[in-house]
Structure 1
């Protein structure tokens, strides 16, 4: 079964809930550089989640300033979603709660 999801806001807001998938996506899972991610309660009100994600990917890369300028975060953003296994932080977001409720409702009608 396939369920298509069209997010109301940028999908990147859901990708900045925890740092480990971001670090793994850029191939630096043991990095320690601060990523500047907002607190979970502030994610949905962040003005530009895409910019936050891209800055976090650059920071997580561990590259020096020169190489960071050449770093293309676009190629890593989809990898973050693939590496996100723990949905617990997402379940704190109202938009994700609504998505889960809608999916459960739809699945119930199919049963």
Structure 2
């Protein structure tokens, strides 16, 4: 069982050459989402799905002046959009936690 910072756990999985995952769900500290995406790409192969949670933040991601570090999902969204092996969409959700959503990406 891996316990500790998510980035450390991901690197441990990469170093141990674990079998590729079909699904990776990222729901850790938002400023490190680009590092988690990089790790997810190393831990998956063609056809895998990568989901990143909490990406809408009540619409704050569309406001460039937002000082909320959790809004830095913009960086990972840009990386996903530019990655030649990923197709993705953002899904907006409404629930008890308010307005949020997730990115669902699939490796080609």
Give the TM-score band, short-chain normalised.
under 0.3
So what's the TM-score if we normalise by structure 2? Answer: 0.24
Q: Which structure has the higher relative contact order (CA within 8 Å, separation 6+)? A: 1
From the CA coordinates, give the structure whose radius of gyration is larger. Answer: 1
Between structures 1 and 2, the one with greater helix share: 1
So what's the TM-score if we normalise by structure 1? Answer: 0.23
